[in-house]
Chain A
Amino acid sequence: MSIENKQSARRLLKEYAYSLGMIDKGYANRTLYIDLSGNTILEKPVTQEMKDKFTGGKGFGLKYLWDAVTPATKWNDPENEIVIANGPLCGITQYPGSGKSLVVTISPLTNMPVDSNVGGYFGPFLKFSGFDALELQGKADKDVIVFIDGNKGIVRIEEAPVDAADSHVLAEQLTEMFADSEEDKRNISVVSAGSAAEHAYIGLLNFSFYDVRRKAARLKQAGRGGIGTVFRDKKIKALVVKFVGVKGNLNHPADQGTVNRTGIKLHKEIHDLDDKQNRMRKIGTANIIEIMDEYDLLPTHNYKFGRHKDTYKINSYVFQDMVTQGMADGCWFGCSMSCAKAADNFLLKSGPYKGQKVVVDGPEYENAAALGSNIGVFDPQVVMELNFYCDTYALDTISFGTMTAFIMECYENGILNKERTGGLELNFGNAEAALELIHQISRGEGFGKIAGKGVRRMKEYFVKEYGADPAFLNDIGMEQKGLEFSEYMPKESLAQQGGYGLTNKGPQHDEAWLIFMDMVNNQIPTFEDKAEALHYFPMFRTWFGLNGLCKLPWNDITPAGNKYTSEPAKIPEHVQNYVDIFSAVTGKIIDKEELIRQSERVYNFQRLFNIRMGYGKRVHDKIPYRAMGPVTVEEYESRQERYDKQLQELLGYDPVGKSTEEKMKVMRAYREDQYEKLTDAVYKRRGWTPNGVPTLEKLKDLGMDLPEVVKVVENNL
């Protein structure tokens, strides 16, 4: 169907005109609210108190979400919201990594707030159009598109009955439809999901940016927690924003000179050092695939192992040859880190787009590990194809990989068989079966319908329907709080077990990645050291999400003089850069301590939001034993020398003459006890009770003793 026919099928449901505003020191000072049930569109003011307490980005999103829902709200209730927010530093073009959007909703996987960050142009364009956040509440009767024209000051809700479902098609079509010319396409950004998000709970959102050299709408993903599933449940087909006139001073910072100077310094570092350090400009985050394998950290066969003999087939240099080099691959203007790599003219061999040549955005490290080693697939073509289909169908690559790895282990243990999977032989390494599984999920058919609900619900289903042993499934099912683990092997790093387990949204490494500091460098040997790291890094990293920033330019490039600093792991010069640009944009002078407190305010608020929804306490912070140690004899014996040595050195237990089962039992008791002790230390450091509830004293100290928040604390002490 032609673009013209699609346009003519549209029916305008609501048009709202607003006055164009001026951004002042990073804030538009208003947000946009849309209720899809009644087609209501409103503007809301952003108060100084809101800025002081929540800063922006994820902070604003969580504040609005809290106000929208009740403790009884489920993910598919109309009152649930999707909030997309930018943040006060979002949209500056001088400092790399400044175009992020933060998306929050009540997750279908966890039944509590989830947050996910994403590149692409939508967040900055939303701000330049006049809004610090967009709230989407209610449910439309039929599929709709929301269009924001940031130059004319118009918001429209239109019925979209015949538009494509899958993102790589839809983003292209809508970009063409809303642009006046080829030149104008760079001024469009589309948010969309895909066909799988209509069936699976692991649906993601794609945010587009138009790549002028490729002449293609590229996609970046808000992957975690099923936000795309909520999006389609609300019958939103897409959001489209158009803004013409991006330039470097639209945030009207208080001190443009400092923003410029700080950015130039980082651009120079990237130019001079990236090729010798992480090669982000050549292969992005996938640079660490073989490094994780070397350090026994690359999840393999559902996290049983951290290394595989065939990793060389999917190492970073293989993918470096597959992606097109020399392109300006920043997902926002001015990002010289340029890590949003893509393969061009990739020929698809399966599924509804078989035979077509497409652009594949990726693979990032997480994708390569999730869609490769963790499911035993070491064919880079298959990794790329799975990556493409995850994106266009709108499936979180991490959750898809981790849940497929779980399925494969269940299959190899007889919990699943061909009869139960509808003929799919889901052994580790069966690429064809993995591809068929993803197509089934997209259609909501067969075993794909069960798989798409995620690991937690599969565990319940396998116990109920197939009589599977719940203890075994809980040990090997790599989910916590309902969210699938991201792609690092945490067994040998107690701090990283905490980095996954003692988190707000679930086991995603964006709060803390401490494996090298802990397991390799041995820099944080005591519980108190680990607790300090599990306070500082989650708070520091939360801050990116409050401001619309990407965390990669913080530590995927390191200043030459960093090695001479007293705390090189923190990369102090870059921390100071963030202090400087925040002060320069907003005019609010902060220091590195206040930066952490800004995060603490929102972090504790999110923890109490979880508690308000019935989660977020100590019992919810426990992790599956597969994340802590060897569940099976096979795993123990694969690293027997290491484990036997630990038993001797750490416990004074002589392994000689003992069976593997006996040794595993002793090892397990020890490791589980270590995790409990770590939990005690971290809660204490964060100012929480032994049950994981933030104390009133902590809230008062942070200025977050808001009446509705205090009430949650009082009800849960």
Chain B
Amino acid sequence: MVIKMIQVNGKEFPWEEGLTVAELLKRKRYSYPKIIVKINGTLVEPEEYASTAVRDGDDVKAIHLLAGG
């Protein structure tokens, strides 16, 4: 079986049917509260994470806004 991939922050990540932004963040263990998510350059608001599908081949950016400890 060929594993389908998406790009997450420029690196490959396996894709599955039904994958949402919320599920993707969970799988990546991205728990930081200040994250900006863009799919193919389009911003996704936090309240839409659960309902927004990630499609095969999508380029997802999950930018963590922390440049200072």
Contacts and interface: CB of A to CB of B under 8 A. Distances in A.
Interface of A: 276-278, 288, 290-291, 294-295, 365, 486, 488, 509, 513-517, 520-523, 525, 537, 541, 551, 554-556, 558, 562-564, 568-571
A277 B69 contact: no
B18 to A, nearest CB: 24
Nearest to A511: B68
A554 B68 contact: yes
A517 B69 contact: no
A240 to B, nearest CB: 33
A568 B29 contact: no
Of listed B11, B61, B65, residue having the most chain A CB within 10 A: B65
B66 A568 contact: no
Given A294-B31, A295-B29, A563-B43, A569 B11 contact: no
The list of the 7 closest CB pairs from A to B, nearest first, reads: A516-B64, A513-B69, A522-B10, A522-B9, A563-B36, A569-B67, A513-B68
Nearest to A563: B36
B38 to A, nearest CB: 9
Contacts of B61: 521
B9 A520 contact: yes
A558 B65 contact: yes
B31 A568 contact: no
A276 B66 CA distance: 15
Given A513-B66, A521-B61, A522-B10, 15 more contacts: A276-B33, A278-B33, A295-B32, A488-B69, A509-B68, A516-B64, A516-B65, A520-B9, A520-B62, A521-B9, A523-B63, A525-B10, A551-B68, A564-B43, A569-B63
B34 interface: yes
A555 B33 contact: no
Nearest to A541: B68
A551 B66 CA distance: 13
Interface in B1-57: 9-11, 29-34, 36, 43
Contacts of B9: 520-522
B64 A521 contact: yes
A542 to B, nearest CB: 13
Given A278-B33, A294-B31, A563-B36, A568 B65 contact: yes
B4 to A, nearest CB: 19
Nearest to B7: A522
B63 A568 contact: yes
B10 A555 contact: no
Contacts of A521: 9, 61-64
A278 B31 contact: no
Nearest to A552: B68
A278 B34 contact: yes
A541 B10 CA distance: 28
A509 B33 contact: no
A558 B11 contact: no
Contact of A294 (B10, B29, B34, B63): B29
A251 to B, nearest CB: 26
Of listed A486, A522, A562, residue having the most chain B CB within 10 A: A522
Nearest to A537: B67
Contact of A288 (B10, B11, B62, B69): B69
A537 B36 CA distance: 20
18 contacts: A291-B31, A291-B32, A509-B68, A514-B67, A515-B69, A520-B9, A520-B30, A520-B62, A520-B64, A521-B61, A521-B62, A555-B65, A558-B65, A569-B63, A569-B67, A570-B67, A571-B65, A571-B67
A537 B9 CA distance: 21
B67 A516 contact: yes
A290 B68 CA distance: 16
A624 B63 CA distance: 30
Of listed B31, B61, B68, residue having the most chain A CB within 10 A: B68
B67 A562 contact: no
B63 A509 contact: no
A276 B30 CA distance: 16
Contacts of B62: 520-521
B65 A522 contact: no
A100 to B, nearest CB: 15
Contacts of B10: 522, 525
A562 B31 CA distance: 19
B36 A568 contact: yes
A278 B63 CA distance: 16
Given A295-B29, A520-B9, A521-B9, A513 B34 contact: no
Contacts of A509: 68-69
Contacts of A516: 32, 64-67
A295 B66 CA distance: 13
A522 B11 contact: yes
B32 A555 contact: no
B32 A562 contact: no
Contacts of A556: 68
A686 to B, nearest CB: 18
Of listed B29, B33, B67, residue having the most chain A CB within 10 A: B67
A294 B64 CA distance: 13
Contacts of A537: 67-68
A421 to B, nearest CB: 32
Contacts of B43: 563-564
Nearest to A564: B43
Nearest to B28: A520
Contacts of B33: 276-278
Nearest to B69: A513
Contacts of A277: 33-34
A109 to B, nearest CB: 21
A277 B66 CA distance: 11
A514 B67 CA distance: 6
A517 B32 CA distance: 13
A290 B29 CA distance: 12
B49 to A, nearest CB: 14
B56 to A, nearest CB: 21
